[in-house]
């Protein structure tokens, strides 16, 4: 009798506690949406090693991202869908955290790959959440970069960009690819459609890798192009007559619109 009375008493108390927690949870998630991760850095102060990368961007200075960038672990990278997204990252819980704990805001421009052959494991293997920051950003978060790795907290934040959404023409005459960059707001892109000046109708592009989108053929050659871009948060913008008919590979063009 006694054990069962005791356990039902315990169950009632547990349920009351659970109910109280459920009431608290919405308030907690609304005010404290920081999640835990770790951070390291790659490359040196010049950031040369952070250029190009698995999102398909090129010279990050020319493209407006500069050195406030990060590579994401496999889990956060989400096969490239996270490219262009912005994160506030703050050092938390290490004696090496810079005083004040001000967060850095970075754009995802690269992948921190998994490596299963390291005996001690790898910070970027799934399911770990990890930021491999540019060295200049890491230097702002810590008092001594020799610490190598620190615990951090992070959250998605809106991206601030100058000017309109931009498009760079890549590929060749049989397979045209378009890099979509300088996306404000959510920063990441989940759908792109293009309309050729000659075709006159919208065609959905598919994401090839990073932020590089294609129709899978060369239909864009010799046509002016308009674009419809859907950001990761579902917001869409239409950018008319972005690319002139006489475009050339390697050129980039700015749309007259932004998120």
Ligand X SMILES: *[C@@H]1O[C@H](CO)[C@@H](O)[C@H](O)[C@H]1NC(C)=O
Stretch that binds ligand X, among 11-19, 111-119, 189-197, 198-206 (CB under 6 A): 111-119
Q: How far is the CB of 112 from ligand X (least distance, A)?
A: 11
Q: How far is the CB of 94 from ligand X (least distance, A)?
A: 24
> Does residue 115 touch ligand X according to CB under 6 A?
yes
Residue 197 per-residue DSSP state: T
Determine what percent of the chain falls in helix, strand and coil, rounding each to the nearest 5.
20, 35, 45
Nearest alpha-carbon partner for 258 in 191, 206, 193, 180 = 180
Task: Return d(Cα 196, Cα 226) in angstroms, integer.
Answer: 7
Among 1, 3, 117, 174, binds ligand X (CB under 6 A): 117
Stretch that binds ligand X, among 13-21, 113-121, 173-181, 206-214 (CB under 6 A): 113-121
Q: Is the Cβ of residue 4 or residue 117 nearer to ligand X in the bound state?
A: 117
x/- map, 16-45, ligand X, by CB under 6 A: ------------------------------
Stretch that binds ligand X, among 55-63, 84-92, 110-118, 204-212 (CB under 6 A): 110-118
Task: Return d(Cα 143, Cα 60) in angstroms, integer.
Answer: 26
Q: Is the Cβ of residue 115 or residue 206 nearer to ligand X in the bound state?
A: 115
Inter-residue contact 224 to 133 (CB < 8 Å): no
Nearest alpha-carbon partner for 136 in 48, 35, 38, 76 = 48
Among 9, 118, 235, 256, binds ligand X (CB under 6 A): 118
Q: How far is the CB of 110 from ligand X (least distance, A)?
A: 14
Task: Return d(Cα 84, Cα 65) in angstroms, integer.
Answer: 9
> Does residue 121 touch ligand X according to CB under 6 A?
no
Q: Is the Cβ of residue 113 or residue 224 nearer to ligand X in the bound state?
A: 113
The answer for residues whose C-beta is within 8 angstroms of residue 228's C-beta and 6 or more apart is: 191, 192, 193, 194, 195, 202, 236, 237, 238, 239
Compute and round to an integer the Cα radius of gyration of the chain.
23
Q: For the chain, how many residues are written?
A: 259
Q: Is the Cβ of residue 111 or residue 194 nearer to ligand X in the bound state?
A: 111
Please report the sign of the dihedral spanned by the C-alpha atoms of residue 43, residue 46, residue 48, residue 51: positive
Residue in the structure block whose two tokens are 């790795």: 149
Q: Is the Cβ of residue 132 or residue 168 nearer to ligand X in the bound state?
A: 132
> Does residue 256 touch ligand X according to CB under 6 A?
no
Q: Is the Cβ of residue 113 or residue 158 nearer to ligand X in the bound state?
A: 113
CB closest to ligand X, residue no: 115
Nearest alpha-carbon partner for 111 in 141, 69, 151 = 69
Q: Is the Cβ of residue 8 or residue 115 nearer to ligand X in the bound state?
A: 115
> How many residues at the interface with ligand X, by CB under 6 A?
3
Contact positions vs ligand X (CB under 6 A): 115, 117-118
């Amino acid at each position: 009798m006694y054990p069962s009375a005791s356990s039902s008493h315990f169950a009632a108390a547990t349920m009351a506690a659970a109910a109280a927690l459920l009431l608290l949870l919405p308030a907690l998630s609304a005010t404290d949406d920081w999640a835990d991760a770790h951070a390291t850095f790659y490359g040196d102060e010049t950031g040369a090693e952070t250029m190009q990368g698995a999102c398909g961007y090129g010279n990050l200075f020319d493209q407006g991202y500069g050195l406030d960038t990060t590579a994401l672990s496999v889990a956060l990278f989400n096969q490239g869908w996270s490219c262009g997204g912005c994160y506030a990252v703050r050092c938390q819980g290490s004696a090496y955290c810079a005083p004040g704990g001000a967060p850095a805001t970075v754009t995802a421009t690269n992948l921190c790959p998994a490596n299963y052959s390291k005996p001690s494991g790898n910070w970027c293997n799934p399911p770990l959440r990890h930021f491999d920051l540019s060295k200049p950003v890491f230097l702002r978060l810590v008092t001594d970069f020799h610490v190598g790795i620190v615990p951090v907290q992070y959250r998605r934040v809106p991206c601030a960009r100058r000017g309109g959404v931009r498009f760079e023409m890549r590929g060749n005459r049989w397979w045209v690819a378009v890099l979509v960059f300088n996306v404000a707001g959510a920063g990441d892109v989940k759908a792109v459609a293009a309309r050729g000046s000659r075709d006159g109708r919208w065609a959905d592009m598919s994401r090839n890798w990073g932020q590089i989108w294609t129709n899978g053929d060369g239909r864009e050659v010799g046509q002016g192009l308009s674009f419809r871009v859907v950001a990761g948060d579902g917001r869409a913008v239409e950018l008319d007559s972005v690319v002139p008919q006489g475009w050339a590979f390697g050129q980039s063009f700015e749309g007259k619109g932004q998120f």
